[in-house]
Amino acid sequence: MKEVLRVAIYARVSTEEQATEGYSITAQLRTLRQYASLYEYEIVNEYVDEGLSGKNIQGRPAMQRLIADAEKELFDIVLVWKISRLSRNMLDTLILLDKFEDLNIKFISYSENFDTSTPIGRLVVQLMASIAEMERNTLSENVKLGMKQRALEGSWNGGIVYGYDSNDKELIVNEEEANVVRLIFKLYAEGKGLKAVTNYLNKAGYRTKRGKHFSINGIATILDNPLYRGKIRWLQVENWDKKRRKGKNPNYILTDGNHEAIISEELWNIVQNRRKSRSFKQRQSHEPFLLSSILRCPSCGQGMVPSITTSTRKNGTKVKHRYYVCSNFHNKGSSACKANSIKAFDAEDTVIKRIEGFINNHDGFI
């Protein structure tokens, strides 16, 4: 009796590829199912990553499941439409093929029609992987050039931004949100700090585009965004397409946008002058906070963050007091949560004593 080979089908497409190549997930799966049926393979599972880049195998849930199932020996063959579906990174492709070979799993590419079990087939795979990586790099460069040109022409390159709605990458003022943006700039220009503005908005019931409380960082981002005065800023961060960014780009693009400004140039200048006149670098405390990544707020469950207050004694000397406070309260104000502050020394002393008790008591915590 002929042995029935078990096959795993893997399909992937990114948004750009589906638009340019016109080979959707549905079309890939239909073709591969027909191929498996022709050779009487048993399809044990289909792994689909839709709208995800082939730049690397990390961040692709279906690919990670396929690798895990391969190690469990759940199938004998991996079937793809093209080798570029597996990965557009040559190193990732070769690592995957080595893993398949070690697990005695055959790899089949429907379009290229090669056999990885032979030296010639493996050479062809390496050449095809190199070509796939070159295509990805070329596509990436073309996309970046296109987006740079759009920015130079004053067009928005997409994304969610408070105060505007995006219609086919064109910004349209959202009047309800725009009024909040104007309020943020007005309050700050009148002398309120970031935390005071944040607390005011949250207490008044205003929320972000995603329906969440405003945060200090969110307010700072709005105040520093030239988009609201009618400008387009692009490539402010170098290597924006990579996960590990190198830092600020001093030669970023700043040009007149095609969209309607929300605030005046005069108000923008007042706010920016005030921003520059203050030190907005985070105060770096040399005080030890042993539990800053461990303690949780008893009300909302968020992490507790360090807080230092200073009091003045009768003789004029200043004394610092260390506390842990709820990060939601610290960043978003009292409408998000309570401070739930606890003296740092008391919390740390309690934890240290419990640890010492655990070490000295074989029966567990005392």
Residues catalogued as catalytic = 14
Nearest-angstrom CA–CA distance, 56 and 277 = 44
239-242 contacts, C-beta under 8 A, 24 or more apart: 241/140, 241/144
Strands 106-109 and 77-80, bridge-based pairing: parallel
Residue 45 structure tokens? 């599972």
Cβ neighbors of 165 (< 8 A, separation 6 or more) are 171, 172, 173, 174
Q: Which of 204, 178, 200 is nearest to 190 (CA)?
A: 200
Nearest-angstrom CA–CA distance, 226 and 229 = 5
Virtual torsion, Cα 118, 121, 125, 128, nearest 10 deg:
170
